[in-house]
């Protein structure tokens, strides 16, 4: 499952430049029975299977003994804290991460109680396994490693870096099927363009993700603009 996403584009580049090393481990390699069982029926009954604690314990121990450095152990699950850009900026400070990808309906609670440092969810929906969630986390982190994404500036200008949505962007042609690029962007007046963009970011965020504005870091000028936009929209 990991081959495609990890052998293309940003993650591939990060690994080639030795900014990132990804090791894949199969939990079945840490079982001892003939069927290489990683799941079992739940105590107390009920539908669905539960991931066993021993293979996860053995896998984590194996990895920890191998790297002999500080490791943060993360479980991907819908019950976790939501993985956001803010969490990405925290996680990128870690030297090593173990991302546990579960299948089935759940994991033995003792994994959470004794083995996991942090439980993360990539969003409020149910995946069929933790693998794609882990890939999402790896991708978001890889592009934050200095030198991986060409231009440092692009991270700082990211939507979410300041907790706001992006301003509208256009490229050539200036007119397509009569659809025009806003005149101001072609004016060459960089001060006006900058102001237009900052106002558009506020407007878009207010319309689509007002929840983000509570946390956004705004200058006093931006707060003033935001009030103006609010009034304009009420009319």
Q: Determine the Cα–Cα distance for residues 97 and 101; give it in Å rounded to an integer.
A: 13
Q: Determine the Cα–Cα distance for residues 108 and 126; give it in Å rounded to an integer.
A: 18
What is the C-alpha radius of gyration for the chain, rounded to an integer number of angstroms?
23
47 contacts 38 by C-beta, under 8 angstroms: no
DSSP one-letter string for 182-229 = PGGGGS--HHHHHHHHHHHHHHHHHHH-HHHHTT----HHHHHHHHHH
List residues near ligand 4GX by CB under 6 A.
Answer: 75-78, 102-103, 106-107, 121-123, 125-127, 129-130, 133
- Cα-to-chain-centroid distance, residue 122: 7
Taking the least distance from each CB to ligand 4GX, the nearer of 42 and 168 is 42
Looking only at Cα atoms, what is the longest distance across the chain? 72
Let me know if 65 is exposed, middle or buried by CB neighbors in 10 A (0-12, 13-18, 19+).
exposed
List active site positions.
78, 105, 143, 158
Taking the least distance from each CB to ligand 4GX, the nearer of 125 and 179 is 125
| Least distance to ligand 4GX, CB of residue 100, Å | 8
Taking the least distance from each CB to ligand 4GX, the nearer of 76 and 229 is 76
| Least distance to ligand 4GX, CB of residue 75, Å | 6
| Least distance to ligand 4GX, CB of residue 27, Å | 12
Taking the least distance from each CB to ligand 4GX, the nearer of 75 and 164 is 75
| Least distance to ligand 4GX, CB of residue 37, Å | 16
């Amino acid at each position: 499952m990991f081959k495609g996403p990890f052998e293309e584009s940003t993650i591939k580049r990060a690994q080639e430049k030795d900014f990132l090393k990804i090791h894949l481990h199969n939990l079945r390699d840490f079982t001892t029975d003939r069927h290489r069982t990683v799941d079992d029926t739940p105590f107390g009954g009920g539908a669905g299977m539960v991931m066993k604690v021993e293979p996860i314990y053995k896998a984590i121990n194996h990895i920890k003994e191998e790297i002999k450095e500080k490791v943060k152990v993360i479980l991907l699950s819908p019950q976790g804290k939501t993985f956001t850009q803010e969490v990405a900026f925290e996680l990128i400070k870690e030297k090593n991460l173990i991302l546990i990808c579960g299948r089935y309906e759940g994991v033995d609670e003792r994994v959470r109680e004794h083995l996991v440092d942090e439980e993360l969810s990539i969003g409020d929906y149910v995946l069929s396994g933790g693998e794609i969630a882990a890939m999402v986390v790896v991708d978001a982190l890889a592009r934050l490693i200095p030198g991986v994404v060409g231009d440092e500036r692009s991270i700082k200008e990211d939507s979410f870096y300041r907790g706001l949505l992006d301003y509208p962007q256009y490229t050539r042609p200036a007119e397509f099927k009569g659809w025009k690029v806003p005149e101001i962007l072609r004016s060459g007046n960089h001060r006006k363009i900058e102001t237009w963009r900052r106002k558009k970011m506020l407007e878009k965020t207010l319309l689509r993700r007002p929840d983000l504005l509570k946390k956004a870091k705004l200058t006093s000028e931006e707060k003033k603009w935001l009030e103006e936009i609010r009034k304009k929209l009420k009319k």
